[in-house]
Every structure is written in C-alpha cells, then in structure tokens.
Amino acid sequence: MKITGVDHFTINVISMEQSIRFYEDVLGLIKMEQIDMGDHGIQYFKLGSVNMLELIQYKYETDSLIADSDFRGMYRHMALAVENIEEVYHRISDCNGVKMLTEVSFCKALSFWNFLFLDPNGVEVEIVQRI
C-alpha cells in the first residue's frame, strides 16, 4: 500500500450559506463544484493545487458537537499555509463574529508563525507561515 497524499478535509457544517461565504469571501478559497448527494449536499473548495476542503450539510437534523482543543481521540484542526500571516490575521480578525483563539506568534520549537481561530461551525483552523 502506498499513500500518495491528502485528498480532502471534511467539515460537517451548521450553515452551508455562512460556511461558503466565510471560506470564499474571508479566506479567499476558490469554490469548486457543489454536489447533491440525496440526503446531504457537498461544496468543494480548492486548497492549493491538489487538496480540497469538503463542506457537508445534511438535509435532516442532527446533534452538534463542540469539543475543547485538548480532548483526546478527536480531529483537532486543519492548518492552512500562507505567505503573509499578518495580512491574513487582520483580514480574519476584522470579520464580525469570528472567534480568534490566539494572536500571531512565533513558535520557536516548530520554526513558524501561526494563529488559531474558529470557523462559523466552531471548527478550529490554524494559519501558518513557515520561515
């Protein structure tokens, strides 16, 4: 068996409309195809040249889950690489309703700049600029 890379990351969204607006308008991701799967809809976004973000909204009611970042046995976050972290930080932190978890800081042990925030669904996202 040979793993060739990551194809996509999936977020089960609370509101497809708010999530599309956030990932397209705030983060500037390129919107791809939208697919009706019968019991749920999918919206894809490009993440670089190969990977995709997959937003899913079910057409029936389900429970919501909010977990602290230190809970064990759960997906923690996706990290998006950028070229100008200060510009991205100001763009995101200036958006009404976005919960910022950290400010831009340098992580000496990992040799990169980063910050964390929550998307409209409460999913943690990290922005990273490597040096």
Residues of the chain with pLDDT under 50: none
Architecture of domain 76-131: 2-Layer Sandwich (3.30)
SS (H, E, C) 73-84: CCCCCEEEECCC
pTM of the model: 0.91
Residue in this structure with the two tokens 């964390």, named with its chain if needed: 116
Domain ranges of the chain: 1-60, 76-131
pLDDT, residue 3, reads: 80
Class in CATH terms, 1-60: alpha beta
pLDDT, residue 121, reads: 93
Spatial distance between the Cα atoms of 118 and 12, rounded to a whole number of angstroms: 14
- Report yes or no: 101 and 118 within 8 Å, Cβ to Cβ: yes
